[in-house]
């Protein structure tokens, strides 16, 4: 059993781990997020492992997990990533957690911890598809970041590029995620991604940011960086 008292003790641990300088720095990266204690991700990862080792009912913890502080959501997302359970159960945890995502950092950290088994990739691709079409900004970002992390491969590059091309949203954190994903696509599959740039079917802000990120990459040749400038949309 994991009780409210246990969770209150966990909150106290978070407060004790907080660092004022880190809080000021990290808050500056999260416009609109005003509940940051200032606990670094490495500290949250260590706390997540300690929690999993000591908690005899992780479902009770997940039921109690709140969102008064930014780090509560970060910690919960990390715990779900570390959890050893069946893939179907993991999908349930993911589905329950996604509504708690309300900034890019929680989204991207959470996505980084999701590791679907190779034989369930198609299942996971189907799972994230509805998120790409959601009206919720961070549902879409979740879907895009998962595409970027798990589906820029020989088997999925065509469907990934198609999905990214279909996203025409105006929200900043969606556009930046799509551009980021496209830059990774270009590094790994330059011909296929270049064909997309040449169609000029992407939003100008997305195509231009994707090209900027490609040009900033150490994995793109100088010749390609120069060539890509020709496909920026003015």
Please check whether residues 79 and 30 belong to one and the same domain. Answer: yes
Q: Which pLDDT belongs to residue 56?
A: 86
Residue 40: exposed, middle, or buried by beta-carbon count in 10 A (0-12, 13-18, 19+)? middle
Please check whether residues 101 and 137 belong to one and the same domain. Answer: no
The model's pLDDT over 195-210, given as tens digits with 9 standing for 90+, comes to 999 999 999 999 999 9
List the structure tokens of 35: 């509940």
Domain boundary among 115, 133, 166: 115
Q: What value does the mean pLDDT of the chain take?
A: 98
Please check whether residues 104 and 12 belong to one and the same domain. Answer: yes
Report how far residue 53's alpha carbon sits from residue 47's, in angstroms, rounded to the nearest whole number. Answer: 10
**pTM score of the predicted model:** 0.96
**Phi, psi of 197, rounded to the nearest 5 degrees:** -60, -40
What separation in angstroms does the CA of 212 have from each of 51, 117, 205, 215? 41, 33, 10, 5
List the structure tokens of 7: 């969770």
Please check whether residues 231 and 131 belong to one and the same domain. Answer: yes
Provide the domain limits for residue 124.
117-234
Please check whether residues 191 and 227 belong to one and the same domain. Answer: yes
The model's pLDDT over 121-158, given as tens digits with 9 standing for 90+, comes to 999 999 999 999 999 999 999 999 999 999 999 999 99
pLDDT band for position 60 (cuts 50, 70, 90): very high
- CATH number for the domain including 195? 1.25.40
Please check whether residues 150 and 88 belong to one and the same domain. Answer: no
Domain boundary among 64, 89, 115: 115
91: closest CA among 146, 138, 128, 64?
128
Helical pair 190-199 and 157-166, crossing angle rounded to 10 deg: 20
Q: Is the pLDDT of residue 28 over 90?
A: yes
Please check whether residues 234 and 123 belong to one and the same domain. Answer: yes
Q: Is the pLDDT of residue 115 over 90?
A: yes
Other C-beta atoms within 10 Å of 129: how many? 13
Please check whether residues 122 and 200 belong to one and the same domain. Answer: yes
Please check whether residues 174 and 187 belong to one and the same domain. Answer: yes
Domain boundary among 115, 135, 157: 115
Q: Which pLDDT belongs to residue 23?
A: 98
pLDDT band for position 83 (cuts 50, 70, 90): very high
List the structure tokens of 52: 């999993």
Query: Residue holding tokens 């159960």?
Result: 89
Please check whether residues 109 and 143 belong to one and the same domain. Answer: no
Q: How many domains does the chain have?
A: 2
With a pLDDT cut of 70, the percent of the chain lying above it is 100
What separation in angstroms does the CA of 63 have from each of 40, 41, 53, 71, 221? 24, 22, 18, 16, 49
Query: Residue holding tokens 């590791």?
Result: 115
Please check whether residues 212 and 138 belong to one and the same domain. Answer: yes
Please check whether residues 83 and 186 belong to one and the same domain. Answer: no
């Amino acid at each position: 059993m994991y009780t409210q008292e246990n969770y209150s003790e966990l909150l106290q641990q978070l407060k004790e781990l907080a660092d004022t300088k880190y809080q000021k720095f990290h808050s500056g990266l999260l416009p609109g997020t005003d509940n940051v204690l200032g606990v670094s991700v490495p500290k949250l990862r260590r706390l997540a492992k300690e929690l999993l080792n000591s908690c005899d009912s992780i479902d009770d913890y997940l039921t109690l997990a709140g969102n008064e502080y930014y780090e509560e959501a970060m910690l919960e997302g990390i715990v779900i990533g570390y959890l050893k359970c069946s893939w179907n159960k993991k999908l349930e945890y993911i589905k329950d957690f996604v509504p708690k995502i309300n900034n890019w950092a929680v989204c991207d950290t959470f996505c980084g911890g999701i590791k679907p088994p190779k034989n369930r990739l198609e299942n996971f691709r189907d799972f994230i598809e509805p998120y790409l079409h959601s009206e919720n900004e961070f549902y879409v970002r979740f879907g895009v970041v998962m595409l970027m992390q798990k589906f820029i491969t020989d088997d999925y590059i065509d469907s990934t590029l198609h999905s990214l091309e279909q996203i025409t949203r105006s929200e900043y954190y969606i556009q930046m995620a799509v551009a980021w994903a496209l830059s990774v696509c270009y590094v790994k599959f330059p011909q296929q991604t270049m064909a997309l740039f040449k169609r000029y079917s992407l939003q100008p802000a997305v195509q231009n940011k994707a090209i900027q990120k490609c040009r900033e990459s150490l994995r793109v040749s100088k010749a390609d960086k120069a060539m890509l400038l020709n496909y920026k949309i003015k």
